[in-house]
Amino acid sequence: MSEPQLYTLTLPRVDALDSAATAQEREQLLLQYGATGLIDRVNWPEASAARPLAAFVAAYSSTGLYINYIVRGRGLRAQNTADLSAVASDSCVEFFVEPHGDGRYWNFEFNCIGALNASHRVERDKPTRLQPAELEQVKRWPSLGTAAIPSADGLFSWQLMVFIPFTLLGMNGIPAHSIRANFNKCGSSTVEPHFLSWSPILTPKPDFHRVEYFGTLTFANANANRT
């Protein structure tokens, strides 16, 4: 099996994201300054060839990462309302990140109403779940609100903006180096199950927990302050 072409993305620094008064202001800042990527890689067509439209816009501030996911596709499901529940079975977006280059990675999985399942680990089968106080540090702004949504067919559009602080990833401020990460879109129990990634993954079956296939995020103008 040939090696995939792993993706790279340069994130701009936008400190005004921290002081924005509303989610709408943050969304506009990301649209104006953020870096955009597509979550469109169908790695496992045998499991599902479905490809909902999924993109993200990302930037960073002096305190952490901001990501706005933009999704349009068939089916909608958000039956999990609690953190640390099985959100990957719902309409879900994900951010997997290895910030230190030592094999330790964090997985952040969000359904479309902002419920979060998150862990850090070295091996997939040995997760350390984030504690309630840590989960609260991950801010979420779902366009659909936070109430449960029964499984439905049809064409739906939604957004989810999230903030992940650097300190939660064991980083003291803006990293001075690039980090490795992947952005994913899935929904194992939706009306049209799907498993997409930003950076391609070469495994026989769906498996997002593969650090060797993460792409690279770099931090532009780390010493600048764009407001």
Write down the domain spans for the chain: 8-219
pLDDT of 88 over the 60 cut: yes
Using 50, 70 and 90 to split pLDDT, how confident is the model at 145?
Answer: very high
The residue-averaged pLDDT of 96-119 equals 97
On whether the pTM is more than 0.85, the answer is: yes
The kind and range of the H/E element at 144 are none
* 198 backbone φψ class: left, alpha, beta (φ>0; ψ -120 to 50): alpha
Q: Residue 11: which of 165, 222, 220, 226 has the closest Cα?
A: 220
The predicted structure's pLDDT at residue 123: 87
Residue 93 confidence (pLDDT): 98
CA distance 175 to 64: 10
> 49 phi and psi, to 5 degrees?
-100, 5
Q: Name residue, tokens 């990460």.
A: 181
Mean pLDDT confidence for 189-211:
97
Poorest-pLDDT segment among 35-49, 121-135, 211-225: 211-225
Question: Is residue 226 predicted with pLDDT exceeding 70?
Answer: no
Query: Do residues 120 and 105 make contact, with C-beta atoms less than 8 angstroms apart?
Result: yes
Given a contact cutoff of 8 angstroms between Cβ atoms, the answer to whether 148 and 79 are in contact is yes
215-219 and 8-11 beta bridge pairing: parallel
CATH fit for domain 8-219, picks 3.90.78.10, 3.30.1950.10, 3.40.50.1820, 2.60.40.1190: 2.60.40.1190
Give the pLDDT of residue 227: 47
Q: Is the pLDDT of residue 2 over 90?
A: no
